[in-house]
């Protein structure tokens, strides 16, 4: 289908973009990578009267480490994160493990992390990582600039605390400390479709004992979920030698955390090929496996560091 006619402007600065979005006479919409927006327009789900193309604003095309955070400007494409070296430390590893699950390469070369936060699809990998890591979303609009914590930002499918006239300028994520390992595992029906369920995890371990855990669930509710009950169930657990083989013993802390996440944190929504029970089972299994991956990653990092110093 053909979208309804619309006007198109290409601002060169954030100020110009905000001015265009604040033009209250018309229903305006930002276009970044266009990988969700154009599809929505073709399906006539949305009909903007004005498209504000932010692709020529150099200040949005920057990524930087600021203190212990990564600041990702609104034009940074998904593909940037395909190399684990693009971002230092465990955060770089987490982003690079997750990104290959987003669609396919042409979409990843155009789509942006900020666009995913704006679109707020419950199956977005970035959004679940955002809530798990307590990301901050920087926005600017006619009323000025503000920052929204990821925990307050996602309100439902394609629904966020961002006001329609606000532009996301950047997303900030913590780099994650030295004793932290990460994991990301996704389950989907076919290549290039959205996840049925996926899990992001970051585990901080000191002397074999878990001191912090962050777990994000993809497509496990009407919005990205931070599995706080599962995280709490892990604090203080002594994980000892890591189990081998695909199945965790039922009484292992990771298996228990998986059951807690599925029962207490997730609120799955049925889909044609995944009903609620199926999703809960998938969440329980994937959380356990992702935590195991994160623990193995933490040990590998520790061994590499000790080898380096020794
Ligand atoms: C076949 C296919 C498969 C896909 N699979 C996945 C997947 O597995 N996982 C996944 O996460 N995504 C997937 N996507 C979506 C893709 O990741 C998009 O790139 C992403 O959702 C939006 O980023 P974008 O930069 O393309 O945004 P756009 O399409 O340009 O915009 C999307 C929405 O966000 C708004 N917006 C964009 N940037 C800003 C900003 N800076 N400030 C305010 N509003 C803004 C737009 O106005 C629009 O409403 C898929 C898309 C397709 C077509």
| Closest CA to ligand 1's atom 37 | 115
77 occurs within a structural domain: yes
Q: Are residues 186 and 305 in the same domain?
A: yes
| Model pLDDT, residue 79 | 98
Which of 174, 205, 222 corresponds to the end of one domain? 174
Stretch (H or E) spanning 156? strand 154-156
In short, whether 72's Cβ falls inside 6 Å of ligand 1 is no
| Model pLDDT, residue 1 | 64
| Closest CA to ligand 1's atom 28 | 34
In short, whether 36's Cβ falls inside 6 Å of ligand 1 is yes
In short, whether 210's Cβ falls inside 6 Å of ligand 1 is no
Q: Are residues 245 and 135 in the same domain?
A: no
2 occurs within a structural domain: no
| Model pLDDT, residue 309 | 65
Q: Are residues 144 and 215 in the same domain?
A: no
Which of 107, 133, 146, 110 is closest to 31 using CA atoms?
Answer: 110
Q: Are residues 62 and 47 in the same domain?
A: no
Which of 96, 10, 3 is closest to 41 using CA atoms?
Answer: 3
| Model pLDDT, residue 192 | 80
In short, whether 194's Cβ falls inside 6 Å of ligand 1 is yes
| Model pLDDT, residue 247 | 87
Q: Are residues 192 and 288 in the same domain?
A: yes
Which of 18, 38, 53 corresponds to the end of one domain? 53
Q: Which of 98, 103, 200 to mutate to test the pocket of ligand 1 (most atoms within 8 A of CB)?
A: 103
Q: Are residues 207 and 304 in the same domain?
A: yes
264 occurs within a structural domain: yes
In short, whether 141's Cβ falls inside 6 Å of ligand 1 is no
**Whether the Cβ atoms of residue 215 and residue 284 lie closer than 8 Å to each other:** no
In short, whether 217's Cβ falls inside 6 Å of ligand 1 is no
1 occurs within a structural domain: no
**Cα(34) to centroid of ligand 1, in Å?**
6
Q: Are residues 46 and 86 in the same domain?
A: no
Q: Are residues 78 and 161 in the same domain?
A: yes
* Model confidence pTM above 0.85: yes
CATH of the domain at 27: 3.30.43.10
100-136 pLDDT, tens digit per residue, is 999 999 999 999 999 999 999 999 999 999 999 999 9
Q: Are residues 127 and 195 in the same domain?
A: no
Distance CA(281)–CA(199), nearest Å, equals 13
Distance CA(245)–CA(43), nearest Å, equals 45
98 occurs within a structural domain: yes
Domain with 273 in it? 180-309
Q: Which residues lie across from 202 on neighbouring strands?
A: 182, 214
Query: How many domains are contained in the chain?
Result: 3
Burial class (CB in 10 A: 0-12, 13-18, 19+), 299: middle
CATH of the domain at 285: 3.30.390.50
279 occurs within a structural domain: yes
212 occurs within a structural domain: yes
**Whether the Cβ atoms of residue 199 and residue 184 lie closer than 8 Å to each other:** yes
207 occurs within a structural domain: yes
| Closest CA to ligand 1's atom 7 | 102
| Model pLDDT, residue 178 | 84
Q: Are residues 133 and 221 in the same domain?
A: no
| Model pLDDT, residue 190 | 85
| Model pLDDT, residue 310 | 57
Distance CA(293)–CA(140), nearest Å, equals 38
In short, whether 138's Cβ falls inside 6 Å of ligand 1 is no
Q: Are residues 44 and 146 in the same domain?
A: no
Could you report the average pLDDT of every consecutive run of 10 residues in the chain (310 residues)? 87 97 87 96 90 98 97 98 94 98 96 98 98 98 96 98 96 95 95 93 96 98 98 95 88 97 98 95 98 97 82
CATH of the domain at 162: 3.30.465.10
């Amino acid at each position: 289908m053909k979208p309804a006619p619309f006007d198109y402007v290409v601002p060169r600065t954030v100020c110009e973009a905000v001015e265009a979005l604040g033009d209250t006479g018309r229903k305006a919409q930002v276009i970044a990578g266009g990988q969700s927006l154009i599809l929505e327009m073709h399906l006539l789900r949305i009909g903007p009267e004005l498209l504000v193309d932010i692709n020529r604003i150099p200040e949005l095309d920057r990524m930087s480490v600021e203190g212990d955070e990564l600041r990702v400007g609104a034009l940074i494409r998904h593909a940037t994160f395909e190399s684990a070296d693009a971002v230092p430390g465990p955060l770089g590893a987490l982003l690079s493990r997750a990104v290959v699950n987003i669609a396919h390469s042409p979409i990843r070369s155009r789509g942006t992390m900020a666009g995913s936060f704006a679109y707020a699809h419950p199956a977005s990998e970035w959004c679940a990582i955002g809530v798990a890591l307590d990301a901050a979303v920087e926005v600017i609009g006619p009323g000025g600039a503000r920052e929204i914590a990821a925990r307050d930002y996602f309100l439902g499918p394609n629904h966020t605390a961002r006001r329609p006239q606000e532009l996301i300028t950047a997303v900030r994520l913590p780099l994650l400390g030295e004793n932290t390992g990460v994991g990301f595992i996704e389950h989907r029906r076919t290549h290039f479709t959205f996840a049925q369920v996926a899990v992001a995890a970051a585990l901080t371990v000191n002397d074999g004992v878990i001191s912090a855990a962050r777990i994000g669930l993809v497509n496990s509710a009407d919005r990205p979920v931070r599995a706080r009950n599962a995280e709490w169930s892990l604090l203080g657990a002594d994980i000892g030698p890591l189990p081998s083989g695909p199945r965790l013993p039922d009484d292992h802390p990771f298996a228990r955390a998986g059951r807690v996440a599925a029962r207490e944190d997730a609120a799955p929504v049925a889909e044609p090929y995944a009903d609620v029970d199926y999703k809960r089972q998938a969440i329980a299994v994937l959380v356990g496996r992702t935590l195991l991956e994160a623990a193995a990653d933490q040990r590998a990092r520790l061994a590499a560091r000790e080898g380096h110093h020794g």
